Each structure stands twice: as C-alpha cells, then as structure tokens.
Amino acid sequence: MFDTIVIATDGSASVRRAVSVAVDLAERFDASVHALYVVDAGDVETAPDRLRDEMRDALTERGEEALAEVEAATDREVTVAVREGRPAAEISNYAREVDADAVAMGTRGRHGENRFLIGSVAERVVRTCPVPVLTVRQLEEGTTDSLLSDEAA
C-alpha cells in the first residue's frame, strides 16, 4: 500500500511528531523513506542582495540539520534532499519525481484570521499534491500520543 513515503521537514518543533508518525508508518509497511527540506526561495529573494548567499547557506545548513533529525529518528535508510523554491510546489514535485505513495508533514495548527492571511504550506500541499498527504498536528504540551504507542497497533 505504501512503498515510498516522503517526509517534508522544516526542522521546527511542530514537525517532530509528523516525523515520528511517518517513520512508524514506513516501518509498518516496510516503505522507503525520503526526507525533504525546501529552502524557501521567497526568504532568499527578500534578503538584501549582499546577504542572499549567506541567507541561502544558512537555510541550507538548517535543512541539513533537519534532515539529520529525520535520519536519527529511524534505523531505516533515508534518502535526503534539499531543494530551493516555493515549498508547496517543491514538495509536490518531489513526490512526483520519486513516485511517492504519501507525503507526511507537520502543521502548526493556525486558526482564524492568521490562517487566511498567512496561508499554510501544508494546506497548499494538500490541495496540489498528486498523492495522499498526511498532516500531523503538534500536540499540546502534556497531551499523550496514543497514535505512536504499541497498543494502537
């Protein structure tokens, strides 16, 4: 059912639970794991000209750290990739390129006006990705995660 799972990460705390859920899914289905970090071209383009290369390098380094966290979360082999562009488009394109069966990513759980004003990468991926997208919300502090327990299996 799931042979290839792409984990889209931005290295934030809100994506850690998504990594755990996606790795668990990959292990249950013996699926290959791809981890993807996208350097947001918009962040680079809006930086002053003299700082763009430094910004790109810093974001790439952050991405490599985020990908290392995904690799550390599993004993499975993880194919990693850093791309530059618009995150939602790059995630969807990458899923097509590797013939993914699913994409997993975290959400920040924005509500109300902020969600409509700021938008959401996860929301755009859900609307545009050619494969199912598993969005995983970060739990409130102190909440237990029954999705990841062995009893839930």
pLDDT digits (tens, 9 = 90+) for 49-105: 999 999 999 999 999 999 999 999 999 999 999 999 999 999 999 999 999 999 999
Question: What CATH number should be reported for the domain holding residue 69?
Answer: 3.40.50.12370
Q: pLDDT tens across 136-153, in order?
A: 987 655 554 545 444 444
Instruction: Give the pLDDT confidence score for residue 140 in this predicted structure.
Output: 59
Residue with tokens 């700082």: 51
Q: H-helix or E-strand containing 109?
A: none
Count of structural domains within the chain: 1
Domain around 62 = 4-141
Global confidence as pTM: 0.83
In this prediction, residues 128-140 reach a mean pLDDT of 86
Q: In terms of Cα–Cα distance, which of 41, 35, 36, 106 is closest to 74?
A: 35
- Round to whole Å and give the CA distance between 15 and 138: 7
In a domain, 146, yes or no: no
Give domain status of residue 78, yes or no: yes
What pLDDT was estimated at residue 14?
79
Which residues make Cβ contacts (< 8 Å) with residue 64, sequence separation at least 6? Answer: 37, 82
Could you tell me if residue 114 is inside a domain?
Answer: yes
Mean predicted lDDT score pLDDT of the chain = 86
Residue 146 exposure: Cα atoms within 13 Å on the Cβ side: 2
Quote the pLDDT of residue 7.
Answer: 97
Please say whether the beta carbons of 52 and 44 come within 8 A. yes
- Kindly report, residue by residue over 14-40, the tens digit of the pLDDT: 788 999 999 999 999 999 999 999 999
User: Would you say residue 149 lies in a domain?
Assistant: no
Residue among 32, 13, 30 nearest 98 (CA): 32
